[in-house]
Amino acid sequence: MRWRHPAVVCLIAALGLVPAAGKAGGVSVRDAWIRETPPGVAMMAGYMALRNNTSQSQVLVAASSPGFETVMIHRTIVKDSMTGMEHAPQIELPPKAGLLFAPGGYHLMLLNPKRTLRAGDRVDINLEFRSGLRLPVTFEIHK
Amino acid sequence: MITTVALAAMLAGVWLAVTYRENDSRAMLLPTQGMALFPDPKSLSDFALTDHQNRVFDLANLKGKWSFLFFGFTHCPDVCPTTLAILAHARDKIAKNTVGAEGIQFVFISVDPNRDTADKLGQYVTHFHATFLGVTGDNAQIGNLAGQLGAAYEVSIIPGVENYPVYHSTAVFLVDPRARHRAVFTPPLDAEAISRRFKVVRELEGDNAA
């Protein structure tokens, strides 16, 4: 497992060399994107494909971003034929396994963006794991 | 109501399978999942809502065109934007491939009038497609239309809590030009499938529905 210093990943991401992705400590993310929302909408959702390449479980416990007031791990659920959201306090990624954050399922709920985000813009979100691992991920805004 | 709709959907599915296996090769085009077409569509009755330009939106607005109705709210980060983006693609496909855009409308009905003002709704729906209509009203009237379509929803306003939970149906309801509840599309929704299925429904209806 190659280990990359988060700062290096950050720098590379900032230079735009790693598109919509991130990787640290054996956990990687690709296809990280946020759906563009109408102006004035305070809630967005972040999606990504997480991969745990280590031989231990990794537990995602929090996320934060300089681009949003609040980031929460949420899951869309269906209850009595209705859909709603519930807070997922932690999500376990089993060893050598992937987990998809996708529309209709797990997503990062992004509250109150600090600036208007348009298709093509990028914003960094830091994923925090129980092990102490911090994974910075660059998300791209898509239509 | 939910049970009734589910049962009707099941019966419609069985009816379709039987009817088309025997009679109509176009049955191949009608999938068994993702859409239920009601063989005996229910006529909707009066309701009174308001669109995002503060115009009356009532039963008369459902007559003379096919309507795709979706219930949601603008403080909805995942399902509503996803569904509206899919419906925008579906509308473009229908307009291009099927029948033109004259006889169709897409209506987003907010179940959260407390936060979704006409202005906010307008800004929201037109972001996804310039032709989309946002509609809301008082709780009794939203409940009236939702009840007629079998669209469940639940708004749990908590005093002092900005982002209170809202639960709502994920289905897209198809109302025909005689204001009858003709079909329901259920997730996972897909623009191409909606466009294709709608084309078949229209062909089956012929001029009867107009």
Each residue of A17-34: pLDDT tens digit?
444 678 888 999 999 999
B188 preceded by a cis bond (ω within 30 of 0): yes
**Residue in A41, A78, A86 to test binding to B, most B beta-carbons within 10 Å:** A41
CB contact under 8 A, A85 and B78: yes
Of A38, A84, A104, the CB nearest to B187: A104
Q: A86-108 as b/e, with b when 16 or more CB fall inside 10 Å?
A: eeeeebebeeeeebebbbbebbb
For residue A131, the number of C-alpha atoms closer than 13 Å in the C-beta half-sphere is 17
Residue pair B8/B36 in contact (Cβ under 8 Å)? The answer is yes
CB contact under 8 A, B78 and A76: yes
CB contact under 8 A, A85 and B165: yes
Taking 3-state DSSP, the helix, strand and coil percentages for chain A, each rounded to the nearest 5, stand at 5, 55, 40
Go through the domains of chain B in sequence order and give each one's CATH number. Answer: 2-205 (3.40.30.10)
Site of tokens 């004259």: B102
Q: State the nearest Cα–Cα gap between A56 and chain B, in angstroms.
A: 30
Go through the domains of chain A in sequence order and give each one's CATH number. Answer: 6-142 (2.60.40.1890)
Strands A134-142 and A27-35: parallel
How far is B87 from B103, CA to CA, in rounded Å?
16
How far is A127 from B73, CA to CA, in rounded Å?
28
DSSP track, A90-139: -EEE-TTEEEEE-TTSEEEEEEEESS---TT-EEEEEEEETTS-EEEEEE
Q: B90-121 as b/e, with b when 16 or more CB fall inside 10 Å?
A: bbebbeeebeeeeebbbbbbbbbbebbbbebb
Q: State the nearest Cα–Cα gap between B142 and chain A, in angstroms.
A: 16
Of B2, B163, B165, the CB nearest to A84: B165
**Residue in A33, A82, A107 to test binding to B, most B beta-carbons within 10 Å:** A82
Along the 210 residues of chain B, how does pLDDT read in single tens digits?
444 444 444 444 433 333 333 333 333 344 456 889 998 999 999 999 999 999 999 999 999 999 999 999 999 999 999 999 999 999 999 998 766 667 999 999 999 999 999 999 999 999 999 999 999 999 999 999 999 999 999 999 988 888 899 999 999 999 999 999 999 999 899 999 999 999 888 888 765 544
Confidence of residue A90 (pLDDT cuts 50, 70, 90): very high
Of B77, B154, B79, B71, the residue nearest B108 (C-alpha): B71
Residue pair A34/A140 in contact (Cβ under 8 Å)? The answer is yes
Of B124, B127, B168, the CB nearest to A83: B168
DSSP state at residue A59: E
How far is B49 from B166, CA to CA, in rounded Å?
20
CB contact under 8 A, A83 and B169: yes
CB atoms within 10 A of CB A61: 14
- Work out the burial of residue B58: count CB atoms within 10 Å of its CB; fewer than 13 is exposed, 13-18 middle, 19 or more buried: middle
pTM as predicted: 0.82
φ, ψ of residue A20 in degrees (nearest 5): 45, 55
pLDDT (average), residues A87-96: 94
pLDDT, residue B33, reads 67
Report the complex ipTM: 0.80
φ, ψ of residue A8 in degrees (nearest 5): -65, -45
Residue pair B132/B108 in contact (Cβ under 8 Å)? The answer is yes
